[in-house]
Structure 1
Amino acid sequence: MALMSISAAADTRTSGLPEVADPSRVAPKDARELSRLFFDQLAVLEEGTPEYSYARSTLIEMNMSLVRYAAGRFRSRGAEEMEDIVQVGMIGLIKAIDRFELTREVEFTSFAIPYIVGEIKRFFRDTTWAVHVPRRLQEARVQLARATEELRSRLGRTPTVRELSELMSLPEEEVREARLAANGYNSSSLDAAIGGSEEGESSLQDFIGAEDQALGLVEDFHALAPLIAELDERDRQIIHMRFVEELTQAQIGEHLGVSQMHVSRLLSRTLARLREGMLTHR
């Protein structure tokens, strides 16, 4: 760890954490090891303190390479737009850091990349519409394009609204709305060819990335619902505030009148119970 210097004596400002001279230049392998140490301390530090701010900002800088890696998938964009992509990716990184907990028992890199790429994809989705279209219809339009192509290949003709409705599990009226919403889009379908090359044609989907594997979590969400229903009211309230309202543990503690550490213990216990229930379901 040549790029890192550790104080000989523990600095009370950093709660004993190593002082990283230039976090943005820490090698990825070292960043993974250090991140676990910083996340471990972040869980017990009080938000708003200098120690907490130091740990959080160091984590952000150490893991900026994840943003550059994710942004590299969009190299075909111009330099000016790439700068926007990196800035948007940083938002995803910060969200991942604020929501990550070691109790998840996954590597932070595996947890953070979907957040970073998700923010970038959301950026493309929200900036490529000529007129304002509700988010629900924006997403339905993409689903409609894929369903139409699938049925056209399968049936050898343009599918009917009813056939699309059955495949998409949407009411026919929403399928019609999605078709109308497509008129507000100012670029090609994600799957439409946008140019040729010696290797063949490419589609916008090739530049945005692979199909979102998170779609496979739908079944898990259905399995999770009854498990959450079995929790007592306080545990459900904590889960709701943490993952729906996206409050920090300190904010939850203030709302419930307990310490941040107590919230952390309750949350860890509840998540472990839900995880065990999910594994049993599988």
Structure 2
Amino acid sequence: MKKSNNLKEDILWNKYKNSNCQQSKEELILSYTPLVKHVAGKIITKIPDGFTFDDLLNYGFLGLIDAMDRFDLNREIKFSTYAVPRIRGAIYDEIRKLDWVPQSVRRKSKRLTNTYYQLQKKLGRNPNDEEVRTELGLTSEEFNDLLVDVNISENISLESFFNLKGGDKIELKDLISDSADKEPDNIFFYDQMKMILGESIDKLPEKEKLVISLYYYEDLTLTEIGEVMELTTARISQLHTKAIFRLRGYLSRKKDLLFA
């Protein structure tokens, strides 16, 4: 584990992992509460009414505790890097159980993903907005409305996963944060998927690539990204949505080849 800047935190980790000290575990959970709040805060702004911030916090703490139990002190990464995708995943897992995404949105999302997939296959490159809009038979206003409709975190995020040997699952969010656990039998598949994801991100338009980098690598909120790029939050959200659908189209093609 990379040494933190907090000696007390390092001591707590050693007591918890080496002696199963529950008091140390509780103190660590308390110290990482701001991290859980940060992740929950990013998600609460992009999901429908019906979930409270406290709901998401509770879900996030499940992910935090799981990450703490699974974390290996010998790994040369910061715990926060390891924990963020698991906190986020735990929140989405609980939200998905309620199946809150309308079927109409799922259909629109599937159509948009398929459109990017087919155009990328046909053109041999990422299609521009005009090509996607024309293929869908939509006006500029209708296309923008579509992006708003499908802009639901669970629906357009990289929270999908690939199945590996033995039924294990590696989630794309783990690939982006470079924090997935790699079993020896799955190293090849993990490395191949990471390479494919890197290729797909490199092919994005520059603004979309920057949004993905700041959102997933730097863990900034859409509002914070807007401040960095001097764009409105709504514009950043639109760039994020288009980037994700481009990635999903590209990854769908590559996944078919990798897992054929």
When normalised by structure 2's length, the TM-score is: 0.44
Structure number with greater Rg is: 1
With a CA cutoff of 8 Å and minimum separation of 6, indicate the structure with the bigger relative contact order. 2
Q: Report which of the two has the higher share of helix.
A: 2
